[in-house]
Amino acid sequence: MSLTKWFNEKWVDISTKKDGKHPPCGRKMGDGRSYPKCVPSAKANRMSVQDKRKATARKRATNPSGGSKKPTYART
């Protein structure tokens, strides 16, 4: 996969769902949320609800609250 294709993909946050859809990836500083678990929307559509919960739990486990200010990678 080329880097250009990677940047052009639509990335969504699978850790939250609003109005039946996943919001775009990212967060604003100071919004009080944990780091988002972002995947391409095509992959999010293929994942089951349980897969999304497991991936989000792995992400939360790698980023303990109050710890590092930098997000870490968690396997999807």
Say how far apart CA 4 and CA 50 lie, in whole Å: 31
Say how far apart CA 63 and CA 52 lie, in whole Å: 17
pLDDT tens string 44-76: 999 999 999 999 888 888 766 655 566 666 666
Domain range for 43: 7-61
Specify if 76 maps to a domain.
Answer: no
Specify if 69 maps to a domain.
Answer: no
pLDDT reported for residue 43: 93
pLDDT tens string 8-43: 999 999 988 878 788 888 777 666 666 788 899 999
Specify if 39 maps to a domain.
Answer: yes
> Could you tell me the sign of the dihedral formed by the alpha carbons of 66, 67, 71, 74, in that order?
negative
Provide the domain count of the chain: 1
Q: Shortest CA distance to 73 belongs to which of 20, 29, 37? A: 37
Specify if 74 maps to a domain.
Answer: no
5 or 36: whose pLDDT is higher? 5
